[in-house]
Amino acid sequence: MKIGVDIDGTIKDTHRAAVEVYNKELNQSVRVEDVTDFYLDQAYGLTKQEGRRLWRKLEEEIYSLGVPLPHAAEVLNELEKRGHEIYFITARPGLKNIAKVTREWLKKHHFPYRDSHLIMDAQNKAKVAKRIGIDLFFEDAPFHLDKLVEQHVPTVIVDAVYNRDYPHPLRRIKDWREVYDIINEKS
């Protein structure tokens, strides 16, 4: 199978890294547990525009920090060993510096990384998934889930506080080790 995997909030606890960087930048002490939105703006009292600007300024640092979600790397390596192809498909901008920290982070944390299997700037993940022929997609963000559902890309939600009330009935994992059962059922 070809497996599409988002990065932020799917294999990486990006919220935690972002809160750390935002706290330092804004001299605040927000706790990650208190951020329940997908975006950090409200927790820091920022307008949408301020939030967007700050994220652009800090994203390189945010992407270089932080740790994978538990068992994500281990499970994806095992899936590759079993003959599945892993594609990392992210909406992070395809800027040189951002691509570089993304690559380095994936390698540093021993994900099954290949240059040809990292797709940056995937604004429409359904479109990318169709082009590659992805059989199963892992995603956390409601905005991207919408497109994947619309285009009938088989998708699993990676559980997060901001997607708990997602309206479509998709499979949901809270732990990457649950993926083995899903793959076994499908193949």
Give the Cα separation of 46 and 40 in Å (integer).
8
Least distance between Mg ion and beta carbon 140 (Å): 4
Q: What share of the chain is helix, strand, coil (3-state, %, to 5)?
A: 50, 15, 35
Stretch that binds Mg ion, among 4-12, 16-24, 66-74, 127-135 (CB under 5 A): 4-12
Q: Is 4 in the site for Mg ion (CB under 5 A)?
A: no
Give the Cα separation of 75 and 91 in Å (integer).
23
Q: Which is nearer to Mg ion, 79 or 141 (CB)?
A: 141
Least distance between Mg ion and beta carbon 126 (Å): 14
Catalytic machinery residues: 6, 8
**Residue 14's closest CA among 42, 35, 44?**
35
Give the Cα separation of 126 and 68 in Å (integer).
24
Stretch that binds Mg ion, among 3-11, 23-31, 115-123, 175-183 (CB under 5 A): 3-11
Q: Is 59 in the site for Mg ion (CB under 5 A)?
A: no
Site for Mg ion in 84-103 (CB under 5 A): none
Residue 49 CB contacts under 8 Å (≥ 6 apart), including other chains? none
Residues near Mg ion (CB under 5 A): 6, 8-9, 140-141
